[in-house]
Structure 1
Amino acid sequence: MHLEFWLKEVYPRIAKDLKLDVEKDRTATKIMAELGKGKFLPADVLKFIEGKDVVVLGPLAKSLDFKWDVLITAGKSILNYDIIPHIHVTDGEEGWKILKKLEEKDCIIILHAHGDNIELLREIVPKLDRFVATTQVEPVNGVYNFCGFTDGDRAAIIAKHFKARSIRLVGFDFERADGLKLRKLKWAEYILRMEGII
């Protein structure tokens, strides 16, 4: 997905539907850019994905009895498994201690800024040494926008962006929720279908 299309066509629809404060997203991005100075990894660290078979792991996998070249976990799904992925995509809800442990085990953290996680960013960013920073609005000062909304669909889009040979989603269910969570999952499913990932 092209960034311009995301910013002009897709994300405004998501924000309107879910009543998101886009200005708070921009504020979160600026805070991330300020707090993370000197800590940001360049996008090039993700180029090892190219040509690889990628598994994006959600929270509902019944086993890990399958193969991958690159394993990407998404958000709080990491709490369900005793595993160190190659990449972990998150907005920080699992807390800084989990993220620090992953970082110390050479997992690449991709930390996302949005209007509802500003306080988490203030807590987490000072604790981490190196990470890739992302946003869902305009990118600034080393904070990227690879597109994608939830941790799960953003992880898959990142794999596609960096030219994975294949992308397999494991442990995802876009129906198992209600209320706002279900609406978010429906947007994730829409994005993944639009991108041809599912």
Structure 2
Amino acid sequence: MMILGWKKRYSEILKEFNYSEKKDNESAKILNSILKNNKIDEKICKLVKGKTVCVIGSGPSLSDAITKLKNLKIVKIAADSSVNLLLENRIIPEIVVTDLDGDIGSFKKIVKTKCVFVVHAHGDNIKKLEFVKKIKNCIGTTQTKPFGKIKNFGGFTDGDRAVFLANHYGAKKIILFGMDFGDRIGKYSQTKKAERKTKLRKLKRGKSLLEWLSTITNSELFTTSKPIMGFKKISYKEVDTIIT
């Protein structure tokens, strides 16, 4: 089951970035063959449904958010390359959303913990999917039609896909940290210089998807980062009033 309206947006992504739906499907099939039958879906639902959660990206404002994140007692959903800085500050997220482009060394430190990995399959990461065999708690996602053990919650980049995941599992409130979607790329994102222009285009697309999600979600949406249409901009001090 896909979020209503996703097929149209996926078609736009394929066209804009010249991606191959065939390769995306191939990757999803490989991931499906690796994943084990488990009850991780139920575990995520228990963590998220009806709760206030935060989604953590690797934008420029992440370093400023660390102090606040250390003291937050709510479920943390971390996008890919934000994990490295979180672990350096002894913050272990409950959920990691990744296409395995981040710091695998950081992932190795938590693959055997209670942390749930939501691994995304796409045409460019087929060779990296073997790593999933090392993960204790894992579900798989795709941008194409879901099947078998593969889900599709919507979303494009790891960051906005994490927000779509929280929406899918019925989070009451979603608060963004380090999700800037501006013209600067955070130093924690591990983006190579040659990939900068494409990365900025991806961020722009991710932001537009979140703006669309804000019009159809039942979750209350907040951001401590740069303004996003449909998300209420709040300060770190205001976070405490949101989670009580």
- Fold conserved between structures, TM > 0.5: yes
Distance (whole Å) between structure 2 residues aligned to residue 40 and residue 125 of structure 1: 14
Find the counterpart in structure 2 of residue 64 from structure 1. Answer: 67
Task: Determine if the alignment matches structure 1 residue 99 to structure 2 residue 107.
Answer: yes
2:44 to 21, 43, 46: 46
Give me the CA root mean square deviation: 1.9
**Relative to 1, partners in 2 of residues 1:21 and 1:40: Cα closer, same or farther, differing over 3 Å?**
farther
Find the counterpart in structure 2 of residue 193 from structure 1. Answer: 211
Q: TM-score, normalised by structure 1?
A: 0.90
Task: Determine if the alignment matches structure 1 residue 115 to structure 2 residue 119.
Answer: no
Task: Determine if the alignment matches structure 1 residue 73 to structure 2 residue 78.
Answer: yes
Q: C-alpha displacement at 1:161, in angstroms?
A: 1.2
1:143 to 127, 139, 150: 150
2:159 to 152, 164, 167: 152
Larger Cα-atom Rg: 2
Q: Deviations over 1:109-139 (max 9, x none)?
A: 11110001001113x1222233011111111
Distance (whole Å) between structure 2 residues aligned to residue 173 and residue 40 of structure 1: 34
Q: C-alpha displacement at 1:20, in angstroms?
A: 0.8
AA at the equivalent of 1:70: V
Q: C-alpha displacement at 1:163, in angstroms?
A: 1.3
Find the counterpart in structure 1 of residue 191 from structure 2. Answer: none
Structure 1 residue runs of 4 or more that deviate by more than 4 Å after TM superposition: 39-42
2:53–2:75 CA contact under 8 A, matched in 1: yes
**Relative to 1, partners in 2 of residues 1:41 and 1:180: Cα closer, same or farther, differing over 3 Å?**
farther
Q: Per chain length, whose mean CA-contact separation is higher, i.e. which structure has more relative contact order (CA < 8 Å, sep 6+)?
A: 1
Q: TM-score, normalised by structure 2?
A: 0.74
Distance (whole Å) between structure 1 residues aligned to residue 100 and residue 205 of structure 2: 20
Q: What is the identity percentage for the equivalent residue pairs of Structure 1 and Structure 2?
A: 35
Distance (whole Å) between structure 2 residues aligned to residue 103 and residue 76 of structure 1: 15
Distance (whole Å) between structure 2 residues aligned to residue 35 and residue 2 of structure 1: 22
Find the counterpart in structure 2 of residue 23 from structure 1. Answer: 22
Aligned length: 195
2:81–2:103 CA contact under 8 A, matched in 1: no
Q: Which runs of 5 or more structure 2 residues have no equivalent in the other structure? A: 186-195, 215-220, 222-230, 232-244
2:115–2:137 CA contact under 8 A, matched in 1: no
Q: Which runs of 5 or more structure 1 residues have no equivalent in the other structure? A: none
Q: Secondary structure at the match of 2:68?
A: coil
Distance (whole Å) between structure 1 residues aligned to residue 73 and residue 212 of structure 2: 24
Q: Secondary structure at the match of 2:154?
A: coil
Distance (whole Å) between structure 2 residues aligned to residue 57 and residue 119 of structure 1: 26
Find the counterpart in structure 2 of residue 127 from structure 1. Answer: 134
User: Which stretch shows the higher mean deviation, 89-98 or 68-77?
Assistant: 89-98
